[in-house]
Amino acid sequence: MTVKKAKRNQDNFKPATITWRFYVVLGLICLVYSGLVARAAYIQVFEPELLITRGENRTIRNTLNDSHRGAIVDRNGIELAISVPVHAIFADPKIVIERNGLQMQRRWKALAQVLGKDAEKLKARIGTDPKKRFVYLARQVSPTITDFIKELKIPGISLRKESKRFYPAGEISSHLIGFTNVDDQGIEGLERLYNDQLTGTDGTKKYVKDAKGNKIEILENKDATLPQDIVLSIDQRIQALAYGELKAALKSFKASSGSVVVVDVKTGEILAMVNGPSYNPNNRKGVATHRFRNRAITDIFEPGSTMKPLTVLTALEFGTANVDTIINTSPGSMRIGGRRVSDPHNYGKLSLSEILIKSSNMGTTKLAQQVPKDFLLGKFFEMGFSEDTGTGLIGESSGMLSDRSRWSKFELATLSWGYGLAISPLQLARFYAAIGNGGIKLPLSVIKDPVFNEGERVLDRENTEAVLAMLEQVVGGKHKAQIAGYRVAGKTGTILKTAAGGGYGNEYTGIFAGVAPVSDPRLAIVVVIDEPGGDLYHGGEVAAPVFSRVMAGALQYLNIAPDEDSKISRWTKGFTNGSLIKGANDA
Burial of 203 (0-12, 13-18, 19+ CB in 10 A): middle
- Of 495, 481, 543, 487, the residue nearest 520 (C-alpha): 487
- Of 369, 368, 343, the residue nearest 358 (C-alpha): 343
* Backbone phi, psi, residue 177, to 5°: -75, -40
- SS3 of residue 60 by DSSP: strand
- DSSP codes, 476-516: -TT-TT-BTTB--EEEEEEEEEEPTTSSEEEEEEEEEEEEE
Amino acid at 442: L
Segment holding 139, helix H or strand E = strand 135-141
The region, left, alpha or beta by phi > 0 then psi within -120 to 50, assigned to residue 485 is left
The region, left, alpha or beta by phi > 0 then psi within -120 to 50, assigned to residue 260 is beta
* Alpha-carbon torsion (71, 72, 74, 75), positive or negative: positive
How far apart CA 234 and CA 447 sit, in angstroms, is 8
435, 469 Cβ separation under 8 angstroms: no
In the set 305, 353, 416, 566, the catalytic residue is 305
* Alpha-carbon torsion (550, 553, 558, 562), positive or negative: positive
b/e per residue 354-374 (b: at least 16 CB within 10 A): bbbbbbbbbbbbbbbbebebe
How far apart CA 540 and CA 491 sit, in angstroms, is 9
Is 173 among the residues known to form the active site? no
Amino acid at 226: L
- The conformation of residue 408, written as its DSSP 8-state character, comes to -
Any alpha helices (H) in 224-323, and if so which ranges?
A: 236-252, 295-298, 308-318
91, 156 Cβ separation under 8 angstroms: yes
- Of 272, 293, 302, the residue nearest 505 (C-alpha): 302
Degrees, nearest 5: CA angle 449-455-458: 145
**Measured over all CA atoms, what is the biggest interatomic distance in the chain, rounded to whole angstroms?**
170
- The conformation of residue 59, written as its DSSP 8-state character, comes to H
Residue 133 Cα to chain centre, angstroms: 38
The 3-class SS string of 186-248 reads: ECCHHHHHCHHHHCCECEEEEEEECCCCCEEEEEEEECCECCCCEEECCCHHHHHHHHHHHHH
How far apart CA 157 and CA 89 sit, in angstroms, is 7
Q: Which amino acids are annotated catalytic?
A: 305
